[in-house]
């Protein structure tokens, strides 16, 4: 049993001054029980907690650390930028350089606006979509997460074509009335909504690879179907690539699957671990954003010098490693094969789902294709598995509904140690 006395002490202090003792809900370990680990440091593929325990890390700050913790080029870039000033509230050259880099790498983006978070990026993209189409309704998918803006905290109503209900206190019924839900990987439910709301849908927003109900890839033809339906109806297609952007391919999931959206939201990797977000798309749409157009959006810290320096270092490193995504995919395949083999050996129902360097293990009797499948998986078995893996030195996402992430800092030896730990944990 690993010692966590320091984490226990810190958590008891934290709950007195912060809601739930954390600044983001999943960190509280509510889904798995127990006391969250307080992390002291990270280097490469490992993190060290406040009691000195070391873990192979598959959270990777929820995705942005493509090259691992304390990646030297990013650390150096941030240090150099900080010496010149941390914020100006005025334009800097690095903002242009980062925007140019994003435009050159992402197929759908002709112009881009930098913001401070993924939530802000998606919220702003939705406002732009409504302004550009003159329509109000947003169609999203059950189980996909697009940040905590009011429009996205909506659970499904009694049917796909009915407006949803607020899933958080503080979200008004009026906001819920402008949101519709459909089932991921089910074009039939999407067609129902379009039929019921003909000419009213401003946009369809989707994670092209869903990473907030575990890891659910798109079924063949699903993204293509969304592209066709939105184009035929005059609605916009918005890809939420906050998680998948630059992680699954140089140009994100849209490059990987060959489907080009109207608008794309980004985050995580483009900040190299610092707070950042962005939204972009066709020039004729982005030119509607203030001050060029009438759609208002602003931010004091948007394009912050530290975040843009980190992002430039990260994207520059991606460009220098042409085999990066092939290497990450090989590591992911090794982990997938090993965990799948362990499940078969132990005769435990499960589905290890993966796209490139993103993955999730469901204790389910079949493949997970949508939220209802994910919700039916064995959460109690996951809870026990999570804590046993933690004892064995492997830090997984503390929820059965979150994706795991590999990095270029992980090695085959790390993966093999993880498979061995899983074999013991599932014994």
The per-residue pLDDT of the chain, averaged, comes to 96
Where do we find the tokens 């794309």? Answer: 264
User: Out of 49, 57, 178, 240, which one is annotated catalytic?
Assistant: 240
Give the pLDDT confidence of 167-198 residue by residue, as tens digits: 888 988 888 889 999 999 999 999 999 999 99
Q: What is the mean pLDDT of residues 49-58?
A: 97
Cα–Cα distance, 406 to 67 (Å, whole number): 9
* Per-residue confidence (pLDDT) for residue 176, from 0 to 100: 84
80 class by beta-carbon count within 10 Å (0-12 exposed, 13-18 middle, 19+ buried): exposed
User: Out of 49, 262, 268, 279, which one is annotated catalytic?
Assistant: 268
Residue 339, Cβ neighbours under 10 Å: how many? 21
Task: Transcribe 272-329 into DSSP letters.
Answer: TTSS-EEEEE-HHHHTTBTTTSSB----TTTT-HHHHHHHHHHHHHHHH-TTHHHHHH
* Per-residue confidence (pLDDT) for residue 172, from 0 to 100: 86
Q: Is 0.85 topped by the overall pTM?
A: yes
Give the pLDDT confidence of 30-45 residue by residue, as tens digits: 999 999 999 999 999 9
Query: Where residue 158 falls among pLDDT bands split at 50, 70, 90?
Result: very low
Q: What is the mean pLDDT of residues 247-259?
A: 98
* Per-residue confidence (pLDDT) for residue 91, from 0 to 100: 96
Q: What angle do CA 135, 140, 141 make, to 5 degrees?
A: 160
Cα–Cα distance, 274 to 26 (Å, whole number): 19
Cα–Cα distance, 210 to 159 (Å, whole number): 21
User: Out of 55, 58, 71, 145, which one is annotated catalytic?
Assistant: 145
User: Quick one: CATH architecture of 72-320?
Assistant: 3-Layer(aba) Sandwich (3.40)
* Per-residue confidence (pLDDT) for residue 356, from 0 to 100: 98
Give the pLDDT confidence of 366-390 residue by residue, as tens digits: 999 999 999 999 999 999 999 999 9
User: What percentage of the chain reaches a pLDDT higher than 90?
Assistant: 92
Helix (H) or strand (E) holding 194: helix 187-196
Q: For the chain, give every domain's residue range.
A: 72-320, 322-377
User: What percentage of the chain reaches a pLDDT higher than 70?
Assistant: 98
Would you say 222 and 187 are in contact if contact means Cβ atoms under 8 Å apart? yes
Give the pLDDT confidence of 257-275 residue by residue, as tens digits: 999 999 999 999 999 999 9
Distance between alpha carbon 9 and the CA centroid of its chain, in Å?
30
Distance between alpha carbon 63 and the CA centroid of its chain, in Å?
7
* Per-residue confidence (pLDDT) for residue 270, from 0 to 100: 97
Query: Where residue 152 falls among pLDDT bands split at 50, 70, 90?
Result: confident
- Tell me if residue 145 is catalytic: yes
Query: Where residue 161 falls among pLDDT bands split at 50, 70, 90?
Result: low
Give the pLDDT confidence of 314-330 residue by residue, as tens digits: 999 999 999 999 999 99
Cα–Cα distance, 166 to 149 (Å, whole number): 12
- Tell me if residue 268 is catalytic: yes
Residue 392, Cβ neighbours under 10 Å: how many? 18
Q: What is the mean pLDDT of residues 62-74?
A: 98
Would you say 360 and 404 are in contact if contact means Cβ atoms under 8 Å apart? yes
* Per-residue confidence (pLDDT) for residue 159, from 0 to 100: 54
* Per-residue confidence (pLDDT) for residue 155, from 0 to 100: 77
Query: Where residue 206 falls among pLDDT bands split at 50, 70, 90?
Result: very high
* Per-residue confidence (pLDDT) for residue 153, from 0 to 100: 86
* Per-residue confidence (pLDDT) for residue 358, from 0 to 100: 98
> In which order are the strands placed within the sheet that holds 54-57?
39-43, 46-49, 54-57, 394-395
Q: What are phi and psi of 308, to 5 degrees?
A: -70, -35
């Amino acid at each position: 049993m690993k010692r966590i006395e320091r984490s226990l002490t810190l958590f008891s202090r934290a709950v007195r001054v912060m809601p739930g003792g954390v600044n983001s809900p999943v960190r509280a370990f509510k889904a798995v029980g127990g006391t969250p680990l307080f992390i002291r440091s990270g280097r490469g593929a490992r993190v060290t907690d406040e009691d000195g325990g070391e873990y192979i890390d598959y959270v990777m700050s929820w995705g942005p650390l493509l090259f691992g913790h304390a990646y030297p080029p990013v650390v150096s870039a941030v240090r150099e930028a900080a010496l010149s000033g941390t914020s100006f509230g005025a334009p800097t050259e690095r903002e242009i350089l980062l925007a140019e880099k994003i435009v050159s790498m992402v197929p759908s983006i002709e112009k881009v606006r930098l913001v401070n978070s993924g939530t802000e990026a998606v919220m702003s993209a939705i406002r732009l979509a409504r302004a550009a189409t003159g329509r109000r309704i947003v169609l999203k998918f059950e189980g996909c997460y697009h940040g905590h803006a009011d429009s996205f905290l909506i659970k499904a109503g009694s049917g796909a074509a009915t407006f949803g209900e607020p899933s958080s206190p503080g979200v008004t019924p009026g906001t819920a009335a402008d949101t519709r839900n459909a089932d991921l990987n089910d074009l039939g439910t999407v067609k129902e909504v379009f039929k019921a709301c003909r000419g009213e849908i401003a946009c369809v927003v989707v994670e092209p690879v869903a990473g907030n109900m575990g890891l659910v890839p798109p079924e063949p033809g699903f993204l293509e179907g969304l592209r066709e339906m939105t184009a035929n109806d005059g609605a916009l297609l918005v890809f939420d690539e906050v998680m998948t952007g630059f992680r699954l391919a140089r140009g994100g999931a849209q490059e990987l699957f060959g489907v080009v959206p109207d608008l794309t939201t980004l985050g995580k990797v483009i900040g190299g671990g610092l707070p950042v977000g962005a939204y972009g798309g066709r020039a004729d749409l982005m030119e509607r954003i203030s001050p060029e157009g009438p759609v208002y959006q602003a931010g004091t810290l948007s394009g912050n010098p530290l975040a843009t320096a980190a992002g430039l270092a990260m994207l520059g490193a991606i460009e220098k490693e042409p085999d990066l995504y092939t290497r990450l995919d090989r590591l992911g395949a090794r982990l997938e094969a090993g965990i799948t083999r362990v499940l078969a050996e132990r005769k435990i129902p499960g589905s290890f789902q993966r796209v490139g360097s993103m993955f999730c293990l469901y204790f389910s009797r079949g493949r997970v294709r949508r939220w209802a499948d994910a919700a039916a998986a064995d959460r109690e078995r996951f809870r026990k598995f999570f804590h046993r893996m933690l004892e064995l030195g492997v830090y997984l996402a503390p929820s059965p509904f979150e994706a795991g992430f590999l990095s270029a800092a992980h090695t085959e030896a790390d993966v093999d140690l993880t498979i061995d730990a899983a074999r013991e944990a599932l014994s």
